[in-house]
Amino acid sequence: MKFEHRNVSFDVHSLTEEKWEWIAYPKVEQGAKFSGLSGPTEAEAKRAARFCIDEWLDGKKAAH
């Protein structure tokens, strides 16, 4: 299932009962997709994805 945070789509996938992968899909003009691992719950994976999207977007703003 896809979610959206700050205009960046992301999804989460269960790898094991306690390990989740999240993948962020920025728009083409924003940059390449990026991902990470989290756990032990889907909610924690979503939280980690939103945090990393925030860090990525805020870093892009600071660079300009």
Looking at residue 30, its pLDDT comes to 87
Render pLDDT for 18-50 as a digit per residue (tens, 0 to 9).
999 999 999 988 889 999 999 999 999 999 999
Question: For position 9, what pLDDT does the model report?
Answer: 97
pLDDT of residue 54: 98
Q: Are 59 and 52 in contact (CB under 8 A)?
A: no
Render the chain in DSSP notation, one character per residue.
-EEEETTEEEEEEESSSS-EEEEEE--TTT---EEEEE-S-HHHHHHHHHHHHHHHHHHHHHH-
User: Residue 57: pLDDT above 90?
Assistant: yes
- Supply the pTM of this predicted model: 0.88
